[in-house]
Amino acid sequence: MCGIVAYIGPREAYPVILKGLKRLEYRGYDSSGVALLNGDLNVYKKKGKVAELEEMLVGKDVHSHIGIGHTRWATHGEPNDRNAHPHISGSGKLAMIHNGIIENYAQLKQDLLRKGYTFKSDTDTEVLLNFIEDIKENNNCPLEEAVRIALKRIVGAYVIVLIDQEHPDTLITARKGSPLVIGIGKNEHFLASDASPIIEYTKEVVYVNDYELAIIKADELILKNLGNERQTPFITKLDMELAAIEKGGYEHFMLKEIFEQPQTIQDCLRGRLDANGGTITMSGVSKYAEQIMNANRIVMVACGTSWHAGLVAEYIFEELCRINVEVEYASEFRYRNPVINQGDVIIAISQSGETADTLVAIENAKSKGAIIMGVVNVVGSSIARISDTGAYTHAGPEIGVASTKAFTAQLAVLTMIALKIGYEKGTISHDRYLQLVRELDAIPEKVATVLLQADNIRKLAEKYKDATNCLYLGRGYNFPVALEGALKLKEISYIHAEGYPAAEMKHGPIALVDENLPVVFIATKDAYHEKVVSNMQEIKARKGQVIAIINEGDEFTPTLADDVIVVPEADEIVAPMLNCIPLQLLAYYIGVAKNFDVDKPRNLAKSVTVE
């Protein structure tokens, strides 16, 4: 989704902003632009990649010590130069960038049109900007006050950043619902949608809260609420290195992140899981252990890949904790009128911690008395902050749009929570608990073994890259893995793919099977293995092409499959962390073979901050 960057201070603003926009490219966008103040207000914007904007600006006057920059993911109005941000107000003196959606923009636009305003774009952003300018002029008030008044009448989500030609020493920004980080340097400030454009310059940051507005000069940061009361900025130290957001020799971030998984799962377990002592230490879980153990139900709320992690967790929690679990798409849950009882536990799963639907879903549930536990990757993100408690996944920055290492880290965290609760509740035996602790501990090394298959999987990708449809089938813990494999393929290779419970295939999808349809089976050894193998025979009987993920030592399944990928054996509860890896690699190599931009697939955004 849209990315924002702004700078004020002694450096040249343009290079800082340009680099920042490139760091935010992973979020997904279709146009970009900058506004730079240096006496004149210069605004440059262009459809396409940031590199195209950069090329357009060669030889142009970009000298300035204050500026704002934006990558736009189109919502209102098609992606083109005109609709790109920054937008300029009617007077030509204000420029603004915006991430979010102004829901009541149509009404505001009508009012402004009646007053004689004209619009150069189709965006809600230009409407908000002119609304602010109109208030400023009618009330003859400072910009800060006009922004405050305007925002009280806005319905929707926003981060906005404004510069004013008449006040070239000040940036004004405000936030509700969309992410905003302010980096504090020495007599300089950096603003961005996340920490990646800032980390190079400073580790001291302030996460702006909803309904806060900041007036920022090079050497001053004033934070206020919309009631005009001063707030004390809470400075946090970033726990992230620059190397974590660079490719480190890999061709793509996605490949780097797939290969990081032995390490990221280890990081996630470190300090929590002690296989020798047989303990799991999670302070965020301990604090609410009683409430979780006694909860009538747990509701997992998430979107996309995080939702798939929730589905795996449903199986694990029900098995180990004997608690009723429901898994909800956040976008549906927030708009239904779900029955939420005091004491229900909601587990919100999110890599970015900024997914708008998940955020609003848990806000609603919290207001009805539910306990919110966040399983989030990005430290300091909105979902992490609104949660009552939680556990970070510690996977490090995930830049590739397709979620990979965040998924396995989510599984690791959720498994640890279930194990801890199940053990304390007494719904699993001591022996089973210790066995699973050891199984979990062994996962990073086993993931490293799966990664040794990369070259084999690359060859399979060549063989199957021209498929137009693909089925992914699994049962039990591997059904959500099938869904995740299909999602990865869709996202990265644009091949239509569906995940199904293997048995459900007979209720419809089997009609698709012919000699051209690749069917990926997750057929590792678990309670359902024989049934999955029977399903495989049904596909083979109809001439489908079978690719099977199997365990070492399985001699029979390969006789049914066209191709196999071998993964180490593991307990069925932890196996999804291994079985998803070949599917990530298969999607990645098919995307590369088809020459697609695997890190930034078309139409997708990394962090979906609009509903």
By C-beta, is 266 or 382 nearer to ligand M6R? Answer: 382
Tokens of 524: 């590792």
What one-character DSSP code corresponds to residue 212? E
How far apart CA 25 and CA 28 sit, in angstroms, is 6
By C-beta, is 7 or 253 nearer to ligand M6R? Answer: 253
Residues belonging to the chain: 611
By C-beta, is 185 or 397 nearer to ligand M6R? Answer: 397
459: Cβ contacts below 8 Å, ≥ 6 apart: none
E runs forming strands in 543-608: 545-551, 563-567
What one-character DSSP code corresponds to residue 77? S
Minimum CB distance to ligand M6R, residue 610 (Å): 11
Minimum CB distance to ligand M6R, residue 472 (Å): 14
Cβ proximity of 385 and 12 under 8 Å: no
Strand order in the sheet with 324-329: 324-329, 297-302, 345-350, 371-376, 389-392
Which residues are known catalytic residues? 2, 606
Cβ proximity of 477 and 571 under 8 Å: no
Minimum CB distance to ligand M6R, residue 470 (Å): 16
- 212-217 vs 167-176, strand pairing mode: antiparallel
How far apart CA 46 and CA 401 sit, in angstroms, is 22
By C-beta, is 262 or 353 nearer to ligand M6R? Answer: 353
By C-beta, is 42 or 264 nearer to ligand M6R? Answer: 264
3-state SS of 369-422 is: CCEEEEEECCCCCHHHHHCCEEEECCCCCCCCCCCCHHHHHHHHHHHHHHHHHH
Comparing C-alpha atoms, which of 571, 565, 509, 566 is closest to residue 535?
509
Minimum CB distance to ligand M6R, residue 411 (Å): 13
* List of residues contacting ligand M6R (CB under 6 A): 303-306, 350-352, 355, 358, 401-403, 487, 491, 604, 607-608
By C-beta, is 366 or 540 nearer to ligand M6R? Answer: 366
Minimum CB distance to ligand M6R, residue 182 (Å): 22
By C-beta, is 253 or 423 nearer to ligand M6R? Answer: 253
- 389-392 vs 371-376, strand pairing mode: parallel
- Within 10 A of 226 (CB to CB), how many other CB atoms are there? 16
How far apart CA 346 and CA 292 sit, in angstroms, is 10
How would you class 55 by CB atoms within 10 Å of its CB: exposed for 0-12, middle for 13-18, buried for 19 or more?
exposed
Minimum CB distance to ligand M6R, residue 179 (Å): 11
Minimum CB distance to ligand M6R, residue 406 (Å): 6
